[in-house]
Structure formats: structure tokens, C-alpha cells
């Protein structure tokens, strides 16, 4: 199976292709990329929450006050 289009081109080549688009299309592309990055970040945060919750339930994590947390950080 062939690689996705973006992996076949280097970063500079992708920029050159983007520069051939109209200003309007470039703005739409920027908006789409920002939205996809935001969605990806939300998915990463959700996965982190699931992992942290599982660790807490398994006894691998515990609740601390901010002061307790800061004290532990200072001890590192």
C-alpha cells in the first residue's frame, strides 16, 4: 500500500504546494488544520483522563492538595 500523500513530500514541498493555492483556499486549509489539531488534542486529553482514572482506581495514583503536590515536587 502506498504512503499517504503528505508522507511522500517533504515539508518544504508541501509549503510550495500550499503556496500554489488561492489565498481563500489557503485560509480554508489553515482553518481545517487548526480544527483537526484541536480535535486531536481533545482526543489526547480524553485518553489521558481515561488512563489517569484507571491508574487512580488501581491504586497507582492518589489525590493530593496543591500544597502536598508542591512539597513533593520540591523533594525531587
The string of pLDDT tens digits covering residues 17-76 is 999 999 999 999 999 999 999 999 999 999 999 999 999 999 998 889 999 999 999 998
Which residue range forms the structural domain that includes residue 56?
Answer: 5-75
pTM above 0.75, yes or no: no
pLDDT over 60 (residue 1)? no
How many folded domains does the chain comprise? 1
The whole-number pLDDT of residue 5 equals: 59
Alpha-carbon gap, residue 5 to 9, rounded angstroms: 7
Residue 17 · residue 9 · CB < 8 Å? yes
Q: Is the dihedral of CA 69, 70, 75, 76 positive or negative?
A: positive
The whole-number pLDDT of residue 3 equals: 56
Residue 26 · residue 18 · CB < 8 Å? yes
pLDDT over 90 (residue 6)? no
Amino acid at each position: 500500500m502506498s504512503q499517504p500523500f503528505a508522507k511522500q513530500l517533504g515539508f518544504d514541498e508541501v509549503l510550495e504546494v500550499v503556496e500554489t493555492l488561492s489565498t481563500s483556499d489557503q485560509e480554508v486549509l489553515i482553518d481545517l488544520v487548526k480544527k483537526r489539531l484541536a480535535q486531536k488534542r481533545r482526543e489526547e486529553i480524553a485518553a489521558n483522563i481515561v488512563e489517569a482514572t484507571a491508574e487512580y482506581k488501581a491504586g497507582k495514583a492518589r489525590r493530593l492538595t496543591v500544597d502536598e503536590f508542591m512539597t513533593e515536587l520540591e523533594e525531587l
